[in-house]
Structure 1
């Protein structure tokens, strides 16, 4: 069985390699930044029957770092369908099948442009450098174009960064002129041919990678707005900084922007972006600036500190867009067309991207069309103000992206326009019910059990009021008695004095009896309050003793004496003390 499988694979390889041949290859490799950009213009000739597909190859080393691959007919717009295919793969190579737009007859040629991008393929060497040192990296590649078919003629040009080239692998014929290394032209090369080369050169481009980009797009039909927010984590994966960082040395460095550190960068946003904000974990970064262009908005982002090798930072950038520019609809059918992610800065490499689209509540029949393969994760739910079932969140993910992936995706869904009235109606009903509840609450007493302590205080307050009126009544008795004694002094009629004393005793005893009865009621409510109130009768006894002494003196002499003044003062003091006692109750 294994023999049959091997035989089938060999036959298949023979068929693959015999169908086409390559007449000419012009390959350009740009390694002047952190992204390895390879563009090959390849002329294929059909050597067999009519064919509508062919294979392009990558070396296994390139496959490990591949981020983007695109094939199109040279000089024509539109890209061809490319898919991985193991049938033409071989050890050390990865094959991709390209479906042509039309069949190519035997003996005819077709010229294709093959573009691909590699990330994290350049290796810093040395791996650690001092702050004042330049950054050197190594590029490992092949002097020959990786092809599944025989190559008649090929040439490779490698563009270096401006700076020193410490070493370049020589494969005759090859030459170096300034920052350009040329391999070839080579003739009559076999299929699946590879010649390893290494280029060790100076590259001070900051190798800053976005290890994580989390994009949130929230659609608001009610406000006619699309809110976009990106959370970005950046890591400098170039040569790590050796030793400590000196701000003074950094500012005095004559290399300026040519230092291998990220000092500032331009982020490009849509032209209709507004309400832009940029902040990190500490807060808003006011050193950033915004410039308006004809069809875009540029944000000049300046981190709080320059990013050297091994350093990292994170930040949030957000803005609002008018939905009329990006959200289209016909009836209840809506279509959102937006970029998968924005241009963070030139030659960016993104390790992981998560794009979340937050749809209006009750959106249904959601479909997503992406410009390239993306993983659609299970939909999430997000509840916000006045939501009942939550909003659908569409989650898209992809790893290994470059600037070429900044393309638009389309998301369609259905949304009933009547649903726009749900939240205002819910808010109106809520506040109406709230006002009704408040009106009922302030007008009704919902007390189930009376407060005993409060009731006792109310009863004591009523008893004190009764005692106050009884003290006033007794005070009036003393006033009447004093008036009668003054009449006795003017007439000398002892009958008046006798009747006055009798009336005082009778009425005073009656009032004191009422006071005692009231005090007994108070005792049943509060023992301590009762003890204080009994002083009302004690002070009255003192006043009565002074009245008896005054009568004895008055019978002997009708002339004014000091005893009369004492009686008047005692009556007044008794009232003052009574008021003080009542106030303390």
Structure 2
């Protein structure tokens, strides 16, 4: 048997085991509490789960799913459990290659095997973008925006659930669109800042039903289509320069008619919560000292005066209110002292910085994170809080670069949210003393050559002067001509 055939048979066997074994009902969801937080422009979910091993052998693997239409937009899927000493530890679920038309499955391995009859508690959390849809899509300017959310009703597991509750948090009012079509009834309870649904009966495994509801949210759905985030590292000036270019769209409700500036002003729509973007808030890291005089904000028209920096937060007011479907782009920049971010050991440096600073309550479709290391630097290693593709490493010429230019390291991220601004990227690089002195010495050498060339040029007489000998001959010829004319007369 050829090696390739053996490998293919082995892969088929492994896939079959993964597809069958995890669905065995070794667990029972004793208590399952699910919270859907709709307070922002993206969905945050938290699942507090207590499971019991109902099998005859210890078990360590737990399987759960997400709808196919949600899984591409799910981000930061993590699980947390309490250790024996009371601390919190992190688990990372992994997608498994199970073919299913409706669900994408994740495999979660517990830190240790759970004995038969024993329980284990953990918290599963994730965020899902692009799920909130204005309902209806077009509304008058002064009308309150309503959002429709299509999710799932019951736990997406193959295990039976004894006790189940579903809470819609950060809203006072929920209108269910298909509650009567669900096979297991819910008891609805309205609280001060949430609406709860409690299942009345046991929920068998693999019970998959959609759950659609609407709720009022008269705030914009800020969506960053593209963010170019550049960080320039300068050891000579001890400066970390940041510049961000944004392209954003409001995914909120669109206007059913044209925009009326007079109506917008007379009804004071801008002075109350509204589904149009009238201001953008960008909070900065409170633990770092920002150079206030370095902040700038421009759009394609030029410098904009309607911006304010207050208590480590930059507030930007666009030139016009950005309603649903409208676009806007702008650039901001600021400086930090580099020694707040960099640690040095001999010729090696470690720089730690945030992936985002981030517009408050926003979703990011694509982020290009680029860090420009000094000319002559060498990238050694990097660390990220989640898996991404390998960075692109090129060179970029800047001021006084004399050879290869700055080392340009670019990471591409997708499907981020503003709450990821606390996640950091760590980059380790080598920058020798020779490389640090190489650039200014080369620049000084070229400047010296230029000055010497200027000095030499100043010593060369390039002026045009008449020849004395030729002037004498010309004067003699003139005298002869004058004498000839006088003799003729």
- After TM superposition, the score normalised by the length of structure 1 is 0.73
Deviation at 1:209, TM superposition (A): 0.1
Given the alignment of the two structures, is residue 391 of structure 1 paired with residue 386 of structure 2, yes or no? no
> What is the match of residue 64 of structure 2?
56
Relative to 1, partners in 2 of residues 1:86 and 1:218: Cα closer, same or farther, differing over 3 Å? Answer: same
- Segments of structure 1 that go 5 or more residues without pairing to the other structure are 471-512, 518-536, 543-585
Deviation at 1:461, TM superposition (A): 5.2
In the alignment, is the contact (CA less than 8 A) between 1:119 and 1:349 conserved in 2?
A: yes
Identify the structure with bigger relative contact order (alpha carbons < 8 Å, sequence gap 6+).
2
- Deviation, 1:180, is 3.6
Q: Aligned pair count?
A: 466
Residue matched to 1:174: 187
Matched, 1:85 2:52: no
Alignment partner, residue 330 of structure 2: 315
**Structure 1 equivalent of residue 290 of structure 2:** 273
Tell me which residue corresponds to 2:4. none
Q: Report deviation, 1:395.
A: 0.9
Supply the distance in 2 between the matched residues of 1:250 and 1:262 (Cα, whole angstroms): 13
CA distance in 1, matches of 2:298, 2:458: 47
Unmatched tracts of structure 2, length 5 or more: 1-7
Q: 1:161 to 1:465 in 2, by over 3 A?
A: farther
Quick check: 2:22–2:61 contact (8 Å CA) kept in 1? no
Partner residue in 1 for 2:416: 401
2:379 corresponds to 1:362: no
SS at match of 1:57: strand
CA distance in 1, matches of 2:176, 2:196: 16
- Shift of the 31–15 alpha-carbon distance from structure 1 to 2, 3 Å rule, reads closer
What is the alpha-carbon root mean square deviation over aligned residues? 3.0
1:109 CA displacement: 1.3
CA contact (8 A) 1:32 1:162 kept: no
Q: Is the 8 A contact 2:390 2:411 kept in 1?
A: yes
In 2, the alpha carbon distance for the partners of 1:148 and 1:272 equals 51
State how 1:317-466 maps to structure 2 within 5 Å.
Answer: 317-345=332-360, 347-384=361-398, 385-406=400-421, 407-444=423-460, 462=472, 465-466=475-476
Name the CA shift for 1:389/1:122 in 2 (closer, same or farther; >3 Å).
same
Deviating more after overlay: 316-325 vs 155-164? 155-164
What does residue 289 of structure 1 align with?
A: 308
Return the offset for 1:277: 1.2
User: SS in structure 2 opposite 1:351?
Assistant: strand
Once the two structures are superposed, what CA deviation does each residue of 1:535-575 show, in whole Å capped at 9, x if it has no partner? xx37x977xxxxxxxxxxxxxxxxxxxxxxxxxxxxxxxxx
Separation in structure 1 between the aligned mates of residue 350 and residue 218 of structure 2, nearest angstrom: 44
Which residue in 1 is equivalent to 2:221?
207
**Displacement of 1:16:** 3.4
State the secondary structure of the residue aligned to 1:249. Answer: helix
Q: Which residue of the other structure, out of 41, 44, 47, is the alignment partner of 2:48?
A: 41
Task: Give the deviation of 1:332 after TM superposition.
Answer: 0.8
TM-score by length of 2: 0.87
Distance 1:363 1:319 in 2: 23
Tell me, yes or no, if structure 1 residue 240 matches structure 2 residue 247. no
- CA distance, structure 2, for counterparts of residue 312 and residue 425 of structure 1: 47
Contact in 1 for aligned 2:375/2:401 (Cα 8 Å) = no
CA offsets per residue over residues 364-407 of structure 1, 9 Å max, x none?
24311100122233212101223301222111111111133220
Report what 2:143 is aligned to: 133
The Cα of 1:462 is off from its aligned counterpart by: 4.4
Q: What is the deviation of 1:176?
A: 5.3
What secondary structure sits across from 2:69 in the alignment?
A: helix
> Which is richer in helix?
1
Report whether the alignment pairs 1:113 with 2:126.
Answer: no
- Taking the aligned partners of 1:78 and 1:320, their CA distance within structure 2 comes to 35
- SS at 1:86 equivalent: coil
Report how far residue 242 of structure 1 moved. 2.6
Deviation of 1:78 (Å): 3.3
Deviations, residues 324-349 of structure 1 (Å, cap 9, x unaligned)? 1111110011111000111311x210
Classify 1:281/1:144 alpha carbon distance in 2 versus 1 (closer, same or farther; 3 Å). Answer: same
Residues 125-175 of structure 1: CA deviation (Å, up to 9, x unaligned): 221222222222211112212123221211101136456848563452232
SS at match of 1:52: strand
Cα 1:415–1:364 shift into 2, 3 Å: same
1:252 aligns with 2:266: yes
Q: CA deviation at 1:251?
A: 2.2
Deviation at 1:187, TM superposition (A): 3.3
2:5 corresponds to: none
Residues 516 and 104 from structure 1, CA distance in 2 versus in 1: closer, same or farther, beyond 3 angstroms? farther
Q: For residues 261 and 163 of structure 1, do their structure 2 counterparts lie closer, same or farther at Cα, with a shift above 3 Å needed? A: farther
